Chain A
Amino acid sequence: MKIIHLFKVFPVAVFLIVLYSCKNEVKEEIITNQISTEAVSQSQKGQAFIEDESSTPNVLQIAIKSPDHTTLVAAVQAANLENVLVNAGPLMVFAPTNAAFKALPAGTVEDLLKPENKEKLAAILKHHVTAGNYDKNFLKNLVKQMIQMLL
């Protein structure tokens, strides 16, 4: 799982899986990048779609360029969350990699990508975003504190 900070890209922080992975059993599954074309065409408007060569890439543009986040991007597009992700924030996105999606039970992702489950998908994805401006050290300390509490 990768953390994509709104301003900077952070390396993998494995321990976060403890905090953010789903409760569901982990199984391998191949995920196709099927997206409803209707959803895409509806979602092609707004601040996420401004042609802008000059600004620093935002979190969505970074994810789109990342080969490890194709499933996440497909899910974000299916849920029409592009404009939310590029909001002024500050937002921190805990971005599941393709591998993390593959670890979900068979059929989970395909099911969520269906148009009728758009709201459910959006709700799940929004749980991977937190408002705030936290740096790596702050999160490390937080995890340490939480582990100590559990022990």
Chain B
Amino acid sequence: MCLAVPMKLVSREELKGVVELSGMRREISLMLLPEAQVGDYVLVHAGYAIAQVDEREAEETLELLREALAGEEA
């Protein structure tokens, strides 16, 4: 029930936003995340954006893991 999916905010008008995932678009509310900017990845739960996804943090995490993998394979 706490399922939430990262989607890209492609447009917004006041507190109404449009998000996109794999070519599918959906209208959501930005009432809980008014600071969201067009172009952000936002986490969407039950029709509301609830968090901005920190893409840099995500990439750094993966980079660290890939280094560990490379270390193993070396």
**Chains A and B belong together in one complex:** no
Q: A residues near B, CB below 8 A? A: none
B contact residues vs A (CB 8 Å cutoff):
none
